[in-house]
Chain A
Amino acid sequence: MSNGTSNRVAIIAAHGTLDAAYPPLILATGALALDMEAAIFFTFYGLQILKKDYADKLKVAPIANPAMPMPVPNIVGMLPGMTAVATSMMNDWMKKANVAKLSDLLNIAIEGGVRLIACQMTMDVMGIKKEDLIDGIEIGGAATFLNYASENAIALTF
């Protein structure tokens, strides 16, 4: 763009917890609302977000997470079942605030033409096959992301 603005957002999602999955999807779908285009490159644990019927089952880590609204001491967080407790609490808060489900945001992204790119290398490392992932995505590597990002994109990493 000649006036120095960008209409493209290139996002890296590298983490697979519930809280880490939201920002990339909110910003990518938000980009659609602003008549911008977006791509998300899902790599390492971030690839979990694209697993079939899995986005709404992502969990919150209760250990080493002092920013939880109700902080869980690490020694309590390590007890069996605490991940489920923390996740359930977070899901309740999200529901009360009427935040869209991750699966809804994924559908909006796909319908709106956001490029959801699964990292091929991560798939190989973790033994994840294309049929393990939701429909409407593509598979690619660093070049795919960088080529997209190189065309005047705002690049964000989560």
Chain B
Amino acid sequence: MPFTPDQTLDCSGLACPMPILKTKKAIDSLQIGQILKMIATDPGATSDMNAWTQKTGHQLVGSEQEGSKFIFYVKKMK
């Protein structure tokens, strides 16, 4: 695991737009500098998480794939 998450959010099985909605909610609950680990199975998640971080200003510090699971590490920036 490249980063130690402060919180883990499992969005496995969820379809658009729930993963980004849950990600926003989770990020809102964190402190600046903390890291959220988000797990998704929606293949659109990679594109969406890139777009989501670009628009919201949070930082996608890492991502990996384990089988059908896409894992993202997002650092809260503001």
Contacts and interface: CB of A to CB of B under 8 A. Distances in A.
Interface in B18-59: 18, 20-21, 23-24, 51-52, 55-56
Interface residues of A, number: 14
B2 interface: no
Nearest to B57: A35
A34 B51 CA distance: 9
Contact of A33 (B13, B15, B17): B17
B17 A98 contact: no
B55 A34 contact: yes
Contact of A99 (B15, B23, B56): B15
B21 A29 contact: yes
Contacts of A108: 21
B16 to A, nearest CB: 6
Contacts of A100: 15, 17-18
Contacts of B13: 98
Contacts of B15: 97-100
The CB with the most chain B CB atoms within 10 A, among A27, A29, A30, A100, is that of A30
Contacts of B77: none
B14 interface: yes
B16 A26 contact: yes
B55 A30 contact: no
A32 interface: yes
B21 A33 contact: yes
Task: Report the 10 A-B pairs with minimum CB-CB distance, sorted nearest first.
Answer: A33-B20, A30-B17, A33-B24, A99-B15, A34-B55, A33-B21, A98-B13, A26-B17, A98-B15, A35-B56
14 contacts: A29-B17, A32-B24, A33-B20, A33-B24, A33-B52, A34-B52, A34-B55, A35-B24, A35-B55, A98-B13, A98-B14, A98-B15, A100-B18, A108-B21
Interface of A: 26-27, 29-30, 32-36, 97-100, 108
Given A34-B24, A98-B15, 16 more contacts: A26-B17, A27-B17, A29-B17, A30-B16, A30-B17, A32-B21, A33-B17, A33-B21, A33-B24, A33-B52, A34-B20, A35-B24, A97-B15, A98-B14, A100-B15, A100-B17
